[in-house]
């Protein structure tokens, strides 16, 4: 991951990946993870996602990871939250009630930094990374999770030659290649999303599907 790239995107407000409402796949498929309300959730590369608020509303403690301080502070300001801020070796830890956001490079964090989690939610992390970066992301995510940890992954699939990312296309076969055997994988849903994505159509994309996956970290 290139930190400068993401700092520049946030500074220029080039954040087309940010959604103005809770992700529909999260709403529909999160219950299938069958988690207790007090299960702690890891959200890598969280930006200022409103999905965090929805997870908190379900009773989940949440730990988000975001490299852009601008994004982190925008999240708290826009949602009228006033966190305690702690300087850490990796960067900053913002804490308010059941929410922690670590302002840090994801790849610099250890399991001790993030703490024990029961599940993770990835809507915009894997698809934000180039093909060469994705194996390292999955390897590091695996190191942060205990065996049995479950997760919801959202991916996009389109002809990458028709548009340069991010967000990048992560085909079905690549999901299996990246996550097996460290995770069991179940595809929950596939949705034809081209009609409602004008930005993709304007770029010349001719097919676009969204996929929801249930992953479970294998026991060590």
161 within domain boundaries: yes
Domain count across the chain: 1
117 within domain boundaries: yes
CB neighbour burial string for 126-136, b if at least 16 within 10 angstroms, e if fewer: bbbbeeeebee
Residue that is written with structure tokens 């954040």 in the block: 15
186 within domain boundaries: yes
| Whether the model pTM is above 0.85 | yes
53 within domain boundaries: yes
17 within domain boundaries: no
Domain harbouring 167, CATH code: 3.40.50.150
Give me the residues paired with residue 211 across strands. 155, 190
- Name the band, by pLDDT with cuts 50, 70 and 90, for residue 9: low
Q: How far apart are CA 188 and CA 198, in angstroms?
A: 25
Q: How far apart are CA 184 and CA 207, in angstroms?
A: 28
User: Residue 88 is part of which domain span?
Assistant: 3-12+23-217
Q: What is the pLDDT of residues 174-192, one digit of tens each?
A: 999 999 999 999 999 999 9
18 within domain boundaries: no
Cis ω before 29 (30° cut-off from 0): no
196 within domain boundaries: yes
- Name the band, by pLDDT with cuts 50, 70 and 90, for residue 219: confident
Among 64, 52, 44, 63, smallest CA distance to 22 is for: 52
Q: What is the pLDDT of residues 59-105, one digit of tens each?
A: 999 999 999 999 999 999 999 999 999 999 999 999 999 999 999 99
């Amino acid at each position: 991951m290139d930190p400068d790239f993401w700092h520049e995107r946030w500074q220029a407000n080039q954040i087309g990946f940010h959604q103005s409402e809770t992700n529909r796949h999260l709403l529909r498929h999160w219950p299938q993870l069958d988690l207790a309300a007090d299960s702690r959730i890891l959200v890598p590369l969280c930006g200022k996602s409103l999905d965090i608020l929805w997870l908190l509303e379900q009773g989940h403690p949440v730990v988000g990871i975001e490299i852009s301080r601008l994004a982190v502070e925008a999240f708290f300001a826009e949602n009228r939250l006033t966190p305690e801020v702690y300087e850490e070796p990796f960067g900053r830890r913002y804490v308010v009630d059941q929410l922690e956001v670590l302002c840090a490079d994801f790849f610099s964090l250890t399991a001790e930094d993030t703490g024990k989690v029961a599940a993770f939610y990835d809507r915009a992390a894997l698809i934000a990374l180039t093909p060469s970066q994705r194996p390292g992301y999955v390897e590091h995510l695996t190191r942060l999770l205990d065996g049995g940890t479950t997760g919801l992954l959202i991916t996009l699939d389109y002809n990458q030659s028709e548009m340069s990312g991010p967000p990048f296309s992560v085909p079905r076969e690549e999901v299996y290649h990246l996550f097996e055997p460290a995770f069991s994988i179940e595809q929950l849903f596939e949705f034809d999303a081209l009609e409602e994505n004008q930005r993709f159509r304007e770029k010349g994309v001719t097919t676009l599907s969204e996929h929801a996956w249930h992953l479970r970290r294998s026991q060590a």
